[in-house]
Structure 1
Amino acid sequence: MTLRRVNILILVLIAIAFLIIVHRNLLNLNDFLRTENTDTLPGVLHPFDPDFESPRKSGVARTGEEIPVVITAAEERLGAVIAAMNSVYHNSKSNIVFNIVTMNDTADHLKLWLSKTHLNEAKYKIIPFEPKILNGKISKDPQKADTVKPLTFARFYMPLFIPDAEKAVYLDDDVIVQGDIQELFDTNLKAGHAAAFSDDCDSASSKGIVRGAGNQNNYIGFLDFKKEAIKKLGMRANTCSFNPGVFVANLTEWKHQNITNQLETWMERNVEEDLYSRTLADSVTTPPLLIVFYKRHSSIDPMWHVRHLGSTGAGNRYSPQFVKAAKLLHWNGHYKPWGRTSSFSDIWDKCDFSGRFT
């Protein structure tokens, strides 16, 4: 065999080997894409879907005034808290300070979660919550014990947690923020108003009213208007309610009006007189807020509180375009990602420290 034929044979073998490698890589890529597609659950909106992942802005310079954000961290919902905080932090260049209210026995676990994410670069304070402050203010009925979570009342005591702040944003832990929190913080509150909420009858949230839920968007859905104490207030039963899962607070005005004391007074009266509506037995946080802030609150942009995500036939009716345009999404509903009704905290049991679905 001549040298020329040997060289040609070698080139042919190299070409064949190259084609085999390319073919295998294409097969691996195809398998990868197929796996990615099968992992996506069609038709169900989850905060861990790619559309909801916040762009990483690690190392971004934080400028301007501090923006206090108050959020609670229950032991069983730490994944949700981390996801919510990540979405706030990575969608803003503002000087955000997280004020995380939690129980003493959860603090160490929370610090571990924070250390495993980009939030270790963020400013945050861990504030212990003492449940004893609620003594005499919530029912001790053992049948209601599972529905009464002490941390849900933390929002009532914000001036105690951040005494030097003049203004703050409160967020429930089951939210994903897609806009710059500075915009929400800059909400204009009218003179004499201590807080701004999103009304349940606004153009965005009205799309999410759960069918068959009755008057959950009116005061009568939360308060018993047959009780004398409620009648004496002169409130109209069909007044549009608001959702306190997201709000902006003027803490200077809050302290001036002694809002916390007013809320505690109505909590104590409910224990004695059972003033809340039976149609929403598990809603013990909203009623006192509705009373205290009746026609005395400002409004936030409805797109900063798009709720009922996960509600059967409600949040799932939102179009993809509407969801992407929303500044804040609230998963205060239920959905069936694994063939059963699951709460938001159930979902985050499946998540890693970064709040991403695993």
Structure 2
Amino acid sequence: MTLRRVNVIILVLLAVAFLILVQRNLLNLGDFLHKENPDAGMILPFESELSPDLRSDSVRKGEEIPVLITATEDRLGAVVAAINSVYENSKANVVFTIVTLNDTVDHLKVWLSETKLKTVKYNIVVFKPELLSGKISKDPKTPETVKPLTFARYYLPAYIPEAEKAIYLDDDIIVQGDIQELYETNLKPGHAAAFSDDCNSASAKGIVRGAGNQNNYIGFLDFKKAAIKKLGMKPNTCSFNPGVIITNLTEWKNQNITQQLEHWMELNAQEDLYSKTLAESITTPPLLIVFYKHHSNIDPMWHVRHLGNTGAGNRYSTQFIRAAKLLHWNGHYKPWGRASSYSDVWDKWFIPDPTGKFHPVRRHAEE
């Protein structure tokens, strides 16, 4: 063997050894960075707490799907059932942002960490009620005036600052389809949000005459008021339900949607612009104004609602309920109460409270 060939072999071996050494150092560096800052890029402008770091074999891969839901202490069981239904019916990489108040954080953390939901990725964000100071009227007859979390949907970009698109869900829902499909709802250019219209939805036909089931703008807004007249909106325009929202957060920020909503909140506190005949909501009217004829549509089967209204839910066939991708118990009767339709569907996704504080109310419990 010539000296030149020996030198070539030595150089090759040295090169291989060098590459192995570099690879090991890079792997060690990656592990170090992961341990030092596992949640980089998820800092929120509001007080928040992240879920515990998960093992790599339990973390779902792919594009993150941000889902925001609010959590009040008296309805915490609803939030748990909703999250469970979303998580179990999809393999997508869902990350929940749960907006709540200080008095609910500890209870929520126990429910998430000591049940099957411990593998769910989430942020807990504490809502600051002072954000609404001077912006809403203090009408004791309107339940939402004492429930600040109903306004959390106005501030979506603040809670999910890094996302370009997100889903907002009310807590009284159950998701039966793959949330990835809802997330992929197409928003038209220039639209900041998509909603499910009330007039043509599968869940609105034949049940829009009951109290709380109004399906046009005149049911929510007082068209005798000058501020409403100036907008030039048609009173018979089909309304939409903001219990499920798909948002383009970039457009939301660019169009200053939050500031527009706050403007109408403040104006109503001064001039009382909302309808007194049918609607009780004070969160829906600003959304109707800001998104008047400027929103995209959600597939009706992704928002089958009115299950919480008297008699309305009973008009659905069992086959229709099974086929629905998302069920919404909007109305007075909730599935964790005594008189709701299809509470058995909700029960499938409810996870008992490990602290024993929350219990669904059932008729048979009193018999």
CA contact (8 A) 1:190 1:298 kept: yes
2:285 maps to which of 284, 287, 293? 287
Alignment check: 8 A CA contact 2:67 2:166 kept: yes
Are 2:218 and 1:227 equivalent residues in the alignment? no
Q: Deviations over 1:246-287 (max 9, x none)?
A: 010000000000000000000000001100000245200000
Change in Cα spacing, 1:276 to 1:301, as seen in structure 2 (3 Å) is same
Contact 1:334 1:344 in 2 (8 A): no
Contact preservation (8 Å) 1:72, 1:151: yes
SS of match in other structure, 2:227:
helix
CA contact (8 A) 1:148 1:284 kept: no
Report the alpha carbon displacement of residue 105 of structure 1 after superposing the two structures with TM: 1.7
Corresponding residue number in structure 2 for 1:63 = 61
Residue 115 of structure 1: CA displacement? Answer: 1.6
Whether the 8 Å contact between 1:211 and 1:314 is mirrored in structure 2 is no
Aligned letter for 1:107?
Answer: V
CA deviation after TM superposition for structure 1 residue 119, in Å: 1.3
Contact kept in structure 2, 1:220 and 1:277, CA below 8 Å = yes
> For the residues of structure 1 that align with 2:333 and 2:158, how far apart are their CA atoms?
36
Matches within 5 A, 1:67-216: 67-144=65-142, 148-207=146-205, 209-213=207-211, 216=214
Structure-1 residue corresponding to 2:311? 313
Residue identity matched to 2:352? D
Look up the equivalent residue of 1:297 and give its one-letter code.
H
Give the match for residue 352 of structure 2. 352
1:316 deviates by 1.1
- Whether contact under 8 Å (2:240, 2:288) holds in the other structure is yes
CA–CA distance in 1 between the matches of 2:126 and 2:169? 17
Q: Distance in 1 between matches of 2:334 and 2:189?
A: 44
Alpha carbons 1:331, 1:344 under 8 Å: kept: no
What CA deviation, in whole Å up to 9, does each residue of 1:89-120 have, x standing for no partner? Answer: 00000000000000012111110111232211
Range with bigger deviation, 310-319 or 300-309: 310-319
Unaligned runs of 5+ in 1: 1-58
Give how far 1:315 is off.
1.6
Unaligned runs of 5+ in 2: 1-56, 363-367
Instruction: Describe how 1:13-32 pairs up with structure 2 within 5 A.
Output: none
Distance 2:287 2:230 in 1: 17
Separation in 1, partners of 2:337, 2:103: 33
What CA deviation, in whole Å up to 9, does each residue of 1:36-63 have, x standing for no partner? Answer: xxxxxxxxxxxxxxxxxxxxxxx87622
Q: Aligned-pair distance for 1:202?
A: 1.9
CA distance in 1, matches of 2:89, 2:251: 29
Distance 1:260 1:184, change over 3 A: same
Separation in structure 2 between the aligned mates of residue 266 and residue 305 of structure 1, nearest angstrom: 26
Amino acid at match of 2:353: F
Give the equivalent residue in structure 1 for 2:41.
none
Letter of the 2:243 counterpart: G
State whether residues 103 and 130 of structure 1, in contact with CA within 8 Å, keep that contact through their aligned partners in structure 2.
yes
Give the match for residue 326 of structure 1. 324
> RMSD over aligned Cα, in angstroms?
2.8
TM-score normalised over the length of structure 2: 0.75
Q: Secondary structure at the residue paired with 1:70? A: strand
Letter in 2 for 1:74: T
**2:247 corresponds to which residue?**
249
Q: Normalised by the size of structure 1, how large is the TM-score? A: 0.77
AA at the equivalent of 2:159 = F
Q: Report the alpha carbon displacement of residue 331 of structure 1 after superposing the two structures with TM.
A: 0.7
Cα drift, residue 334 of structure 1: 4.0
Give, in whole Å, the separation in 2 of the partners of 1:217 and 1:123.
Answer: 36
Distance between the aligned counterparts of 2:59 and 2:244, measured in 1?
A: 26
Amino acid of the structure 2 residue aligned with 1:352? P
Preserved contact between residue 212 and residue 331 of structure 2 (Cα < 8 Å): no
Deviations 1:207-261 (A, max 9, x none): 3635433871000000000000000000000000000000100000000000000
Classify 1:122/1:214 alpha carbon distance in 2 versus 1 (closer, same or farther; 3 Å).
closer
Asked if the contact 1:211–1:313 (Cα under 8 Å) also holds between the matched residues in 2, the reply is: no
Q: Give the share of equivalent positions with the same residue, in percent.
A: 74
> Retained in 2: the 8 A contact 1:74–1:103?
yes
Structure 2 residue aligned with 1:270, among 268, 271, 292? 268
Q: Secondary structure at the match of 1:96?
A: strand
Cα gap change, 1:311 to 1:208, in 2 (>3 Å): farther
Aligned-partner residue type, residue 91 of structure 2? K
Deviation at 1:353, TM superposition (A): 2.8
Once the two structures are superposed, what CA deviation does each residue of 1:2-27 show, in whole Å capped at 9, x if it has no partner?
xxxxxxxxxxxxxxxxxxxxxxxxxx
